[in-house]
Structure 1
Amino acid sequence: MIDKGAANLLANCAGIRKRDRLLIVHEEPGLGYYDDEILCAILRAAQVIGAHVTVKQVPFIPRPTEMPADVGALMQSADQTVFLARIGDQLRFCDIASYGRMAVCYALDAEMLSSPYGTADHRAFIELKTALNRMLANARSVHVTCPCGTDFHGPGAGTAKPLADVGIKRFPLSVFTPIPAARYSGKVALPGFLVGTGSMYYEPYALEYEGALSVSFEAGRITRFQGSAAAVRAAEQHYQMVASRLGIDRDFVHSWHAGIHPGCEISGVVSDSYERWSGAAFGNPRLLHFHTCGAYAPGEISWNVVDPTITVDDIPVWQDGVLRPQLVPGGEEILARYPDIAPLFDAPKRNIGL
């Protein structure tokens, strides 16, 4: 029996049809990021569709700068490439269009793929993202708060140069296009850790700290960390370590966006694997994250805001981590066209590993 999530990925996201040449790029087994069963599920779905499939195994590369030549050659000869490998995510902000059409799967195991996160119609979230992008671009003001003290604000994306989106298709589609932080200022309350962005991997990839910690920024620049002395000292040292090691701008705050997929759910806790958490949890509307440390997308350290309220021109589109698509212009029509997603927004998944 074909897995509904795998069919959703191949048909509704990647656009795979009978006789298409599909390349699946996957990490070598045993690395603990993707499980082996998800590859099998996608292969079975491709067989049912009637696609011609090539499978390419790749190693994990902590700091890739370009697509390996052998992978790039296979991609150029395929109609579509699906990545079950971190390198697709790591190069998502690079100009990789010359390699052809591609999608990265952010469902990391067969359980996530077959859950509502993977099975909810991908086309609905394409439309929702477009509607949110339009609303945020046209906004006069955006104000973000959270129960722990986050409070920042700025104009809609249309009042500054919009950011280019990633050069890949995301599956499941779970965030809107990043909003530039250059005209935003305020304070972000951090949830007990700092973690990488999935761009480059370094050790330690995450910093856990004790006590309260927040960070203030102005016009896209960090101004100071505040909180317990030990937490402030640890955060400053972590930022200095990452910036020095990679030769990047320590205090740059690049952009931010929030999760839009109420089916996104994380089993276990964040400390089980910060790498997997940072690569999968961000799609839940309970999380908003910033790209910081590095004057480029996505930077190398993310700030995570838990249960944000995002008010767009006085309309609380997110309320304490709950996204209300009916408040987005065109949202009611999207829910009507895709009735299977309405129950997800009525009863969103709350488990984000925290």
Structure 2
Amino acid sequence: MQDADLRAGAENLLVTCGGLRAGDHLLILREDPANGYYDAAIAGAVMESARALGIDAKCEVLAFDPMGAALPPALVARMKAADRVLFLSRSGDQIRFSKDMQGIRPIMSYALDAGMLASGFGRANYQGFVALKDAVNALMAAAQHIRVTCPLGTDFSGPGAAYPKSGAADVSVTRFPMSVFAPVPAQGFSGVVMQDGFLVGTGSKFYDPYGCGLREPLAVHFRGSVLERFEGHERDVHCARMHYAKVGKQFGLDAMTMHSWHAGIHPGCAYGMAAAENFERWSGAAFGNPRLMHFHTCGHYAPGEISLNVLDPTIEMDGAAVWKDGVFDPHLVPGGTEVLAQFPCIKAVFDAPAQAVGQGPGGRLAS
């Protein structure tokens, strides 16, 4: 890791994403590194770069609440007084769909450590990926037919993305790096998702157990917003039913629901540890790679409380495989070629995509 790369990643976060200038006030809310989620070095790198840019940056530790309780009023007042608020904390993920952020300009960092910030994931131009995300959203919405498959047998299809009339359903928190398109509502889609390895939470609430291991690939059949049934190893089917029932009861949810799905668009996103070593960290960091797509289930809202995750999807829109076995081809997205031409740093991550996304032995997702 080069110091210059780390500075470039921090400036991409602060300036290109955050729009901060000299004299602006930045409040950084960081999670205690002892939690094992964010490392200590990323906050120091951002603070150092902010000060070098003349930004008035202050940092405080925010106690992490696994259930995502409301933030203290005094803290909310400090957040409103800042030009931008940067979450180096899972708390930012928990409020990402909240309407309570009115008057606050939060940024949630999915770069969890200094290495991720200094990599192509952190350095590739933020605005360029926003343009690419918007182009994918438009393509999804305009499609007449979308079909999704994977090597293990995932196969579902439906019409174009039925985004709300106000636009693609997105979050109230700026996400850095921009690494997914807007969640596609499940309405109109039906088929089967083959879930390998485990069921896992979504980053909304951190309950115990957060992950539910599977012996074999589990077939999850759905139609629209309803999860109809599980098929597979008898023990896996039993565990899936019990896990959904437990989480649904814990949070008062209609458990057997499918809300929406989306895939990664940022091939610079890498996750070198096996997912099973830390399900919480994996579920909040690896999803931006095009090799992964995930589904928001267990709750009639995004992100729900249980996610399904598919490795190496193929996503065909009107017959064109825009994702092919986990490889996203931006040239098949109107405007995508222009984005790569305008931003060589984005072209570089597409030319050498990260392959590590938390696979276990044998290259598959495993518990």
Residue 333 of structure 2 corresponds to: 328
Letter in 2 for 1:144: V
- How far off its partner does 1:29 sit? 3.2
Displacement of 1:342 after TM fit?
1.2
Q: Partner residue of 1:145? A: 149
- Contact 2:322–2:333 (CA under 8 A) maintained in structure 1: yes
Write the distance in 1 (CA, Å) between the matches of 2:118 and 2:59: 21
Q: 1:159-170 residue pairs with structure 2 within 5 A?
A: 164-170=169-175
Give the equivalent residue in structure 2 for 1:237: 242
Correspondence 1:260 to 2:268: no
Q: Report the Cα distance in structure 2 between the residues aligned to 1:346 and 1:115, rounded to whole angstroms.
A: 14
State the identity %: 49
CA contact 2:137–2:168 (8 Å) conserved in 1:
no
Q: Secondary structure at the match of 2:219?
A: strand
What is the aligned partner in structure 2 of residue 92 from structure 1?
Answer: 96
Given candidates 57, 61, 65, the residue that maps to 1:57 is 61
Give matches, 1:245-284, under 5 Å.
245-284=250-289
Q: Within 5 A, what are the aligned runs for 1:106-117? A: 106-117=110-121
Shift of 1:163: 5.0
1:313 alignment counterpart: 318
Q: Which moved more, 1:303-312 or 1:69-78?
A: 69-78
Question: Is residue 105 from structure 1 mapped to residue 109 from structure 2 by the alignment?
Answer: yes
Give yes or no for the alignment of 1:210 onto 2:215. yes
Q: Which amino acid aligns with 1:16?
A: L
- The 3-state SS of whatever aligns with 1:216 is strand
The SS at the match of 1:43 is: helix
Contact 1:17 1:50 in 2 (8 A): yes
Q: CA deviation at 1:100?
A: 1.6
* 3-state SS, counterpart of residue 98 of structure 1: coil
Give deviations 1:236-286, integer Å, cap 9, x for gaps.
111111011111011110000000000000011101100000000000000
* Residue 192 of structure 1: aligned partner: 197
Q: Distance in 1 between matches of 2:59 and 2:349?
A: 33
Kindly indicate whether residue 79 of structure 2 is the aligned counterpart of residue 75 of structure 1: yes
The letter for the 1-side match of 2:262 is: H
Partner of 2:176: 171
> Per-residue deviation at 1:78?
0.4
Partner of 2:362: none
37, 40, 50: which one aligns with 2:41: 37
* Local SS of the residue matching 2:33: coil
Per-residue CA distance 1:174-207 (angstroms, 9 max, x = gap): 0000110021100000011000000011000001
How many residues align? The count is 354
Residue in structure 2 matching 1:346, options 338, 346, 351: 351
Task: State how far apart, in whole Å, the 1-side matches of 2:319 and 2:12 are.
Answer: 35
Please report the TM-score for the alignment, with normalisation by the length of structure 2.
Answer: 0.94
- SS of match in other structure, 1:225: strand
Query: Could you list the runs of 5+ residues in structure 1 that have no partner in the other structure?
Result: none
CA contact (8 A) 2:192 2:219 kept: yes
Matched letter for residue 231 of structure 2: Q
Q: CA deviation at 1:134?
A: 0.6
User: Is structure 2 residue 8 aligned with structure 1 residue 8?
Assistant: no
**2:133–2:180 CA contact under 8 A, matched in 1:** yes
Structure 1, residues 28-61: CA drift from partner, whole Å, max 9, x if none?
2311110000000000110111001121211111
Contact (CA 8 Å) 1:243, 1:249: kept in 2 or not?
yes
**Hey, what does 1:119 align to over in structure 2?**
123
Distance 1:259 1:159 in 2: 18
Matched residue type, 2:28: I
- Contact kept, 8 Å, 1:286 with 1:307, in 2: the verdict is yes
1:129 corresponds to 2:133: yes
Secondary structure of 1:222's partner?
Answer: strand
**Residues 159 and 26 of structure 1: CA distance in aligned 2, closer, same or farther (over 3 Å):** closer
CA distance in 2, matches of 1:87, 1:160: 26
Match of 1:157 in 2: 161
Corresponding letter in the other structure for 1:237 = M
Most deviating of 155-164 and 95-104: 155-164
**Matched letter for residue 348 of structure 1:** P
Does structure 2 retain, via aligned residues, the 8 Å contact 1:292–1:300?
Answer: yes
In 2, the alpha carbon distance for the partners of 1:228 and 1:160 equals 38
Deviation at 1:158, TM superposition (A): 4.0
Tell me what 2:227 maps to. 222
What is the alpha-carbon root mean square deviation over aligned residues? 1.3
Match of 2:206 among 201, 204, 207: 201
Output one character per residue of 1:83-122: Cα deviation in whole Å (capped at 9) or x when no partner.
0011111010011332421110001011111111111111
